[in-house]
Each structure stands twice: as structure tokens, then as C-alpha cells.
Amino acid sequence: MNTTEDMGMNSERVDCGDLESRELDRGGLNRALAICWKEWRVALDTPLGYVVAIAFLLATGFLFANHLFLVGQADMRGYFGVMPLLLMFFIPAMSMRMLSDEQRSGTFELLATMPIRTCDIVAGKFLAVMLQVLVLIALTLFYPATLALMGDLDAGQVAAAYLALSLLAACYVAISLYASAITSHAVVAYVIGFGILFGLFIMMQAMPTFSPDVQDFFAAFMPLAHYHFMLRGVIGLDDMGVLLLVTALFLTLTWFQLERRRWR
């Protein structure tokens, strides 16, 4: 991105620190929503968000068409099986500037001097990226609608798969947000976030080579394992709980990292 675009983006992020006092006085939820709205404005005013959205829809369209016409599977199992790998590339790109730019431009120090809690900053940033991801996922509902017109479609299984995908996306957003919190360089944040997600993916692929006891141990805590359990069409509270727990864990780590910087 050129210098002019960087200056424009930094100007928007300075606006994030210039929240009106009436917004700050309405409570934590409103403060988080105010930050979320500021980030939405940044995404809408810069070309990066549109580039990511178009690339995501092209990639998901290719995956869907590939399984439907080339593989000959008139269902969504193969599509949802590959989606974690696709999100692994896109979500770090959507999250990498969220906190790293704040640190690089110095606007985090400005936020730290205002009556706003660190948890409100983390919640606002998380909601901003999560809502963007959910919008992209919602746009892919066109694919199961197409299959429903072509024949029978197990709506319950598809609904469970979309719920699982949304919860897994929340995990990925929390991990990528943590990566953005530990560096002031967006590219480094992308590499760290992608590296963590890719490491989890490799561990999932290597699980069959482990002993049964080790497999059971990793399956109990691996987000991807519980995601694949939910793709069967059965929504288990333990599967949802693990995905939410991992999300909460990395959001807490993000809070801790920012809190350290705030009081350094």
C-alpha cells in the first residue's frame, strides 16, 4: 500500500482514538461498539477490505464448483472440509493491521490515556473483524441454496456446518488478533498469525500417526478436531465449548499483551 493510503488509514485510526466523550461515558459495550464502527469505516474506506472480500468469494466459488462439477459431489462436505485451510490465509490478512497499526502510529498510547478499558479495545477490534468474516460467510449461502434447487439437501447438516465454521472463524480471529498485538508491523503480524494457524493444521494432519492416547489428548483440545466433529451434523456442547474456550483464551492473551504495553 502506498504512502498516501497509509496516511489515510492512520488518519482513520487516529479518529478511533478521538472517540466522543458521550460515547465513552455510556458503558463498556458502547465503547466496544464505537471502536467496532470505526474499524468498519476503515474497512469501507480502503481498498484492502474489498480486495480480500472479492478474493474470498472467488476462492470459495472455485471450491464449490470444483466439488460439484469436477469431483461430482452434490453436497457440501468437501467444501466445508477445505474451508479451514482457506480461512487460514484470509483471516490473518483481515486482522493484521488491527492492533499493529495502533502501535506503529502511536494511537494506542492515545487510547491508553482515555477513559476506555483494554478489554473494550480488544472486544471492539474482535467484533469488527468477526462481523466482516460473518458477512463473507453469509454471502456463501448462495451455494447451499443452489444445491437445494438441484435436489435434496440436508438442511440440518448444512446449518450445523455453518455454525461450526463461524465458531472456528472466531478462534482464527482471536489468534490473529493476538498476533497483531505482539508486533507493530502488519506483515509480521500476518506471518505470526498464519504460522500459529498453520501449525494447528499440521498437528491435526499428523494426529493419525500418534498413539491412540496422544490422539485422544490432542482431539480434546484441538479446534479443528471439534470443527470436524460438528460437520457430521451433530452439535455437541463439548465441541462448541472447546471452540469458544480457545477463542476466549487468545482474547485474554491479547488483553494481557495490551495491558502490559499500557502500563509499561
Q: What is the pLDDT of residues 222-254, one digit of tens each?
A: 899 899 888 887 788 888 999 999 999 999 999
pLDDT at 37: 86
Measured distance CA(132)–CA(190) in Å, rounded: 17
pLDDT at 197: 94
Q: Residue 61 to residues 1, 87, 137: CA-CA distances in angstroms?
A: 27, 14, 12
The structural domain count of the chain equals: 1
Query: Hey, CA dihedral for 203, 198, 161, 166, is it positive or negative?
Result: positive
pTM: 0.83
Measured distance CA(21)–CA(31) in Å, rounded: 10
Residues in the chain, pLDDT under 50: 1-25
pLDDT at 4: 43
pLDDT at 98: 86
DSSP codes of every residue in 55-114: HHHHHHHHHHHIIIIIS---SSHHHHHHHHHHHHHHHHHHHTHHHHHHHHHTHHHHHHTS
| 178 close to 72: Cβ distance less than 8 angstroms | no
Q: Could you give the residue ranges of the DSSP H alpha helices within 96-211?
A: 97-105, 107-112, 118-139, 142-150, 155-181, 186-206
Q: Which residue has 453436497 as its cell numbers? A: 75
pLDDT at 72: 56
pLDDT at 24: 46
> Residue 117 — φ and ψ, nearest 5°?
-80, 155
Measured distance CA(226)–CA(247) in Å, rounded: 13
pLDDT at 156: 84
pLDDT at 28: 55
Q: Backbone dihedral region of 41: left (phi > 0), alpha (psi from -120 to 50 degrees) or beta?
A: alpha
Residues 6+ apart with CB under 8 A from 195: none
Measured distance CA(132)–CA(172) in Å, rounded: 13
Q: Residues 244, 247, 251, 257: what is their CA dihedral angle, to the nearest 10 degrees?
A: 140
Domain hosting 82: range is 3-262
pLDDT at 70: 66
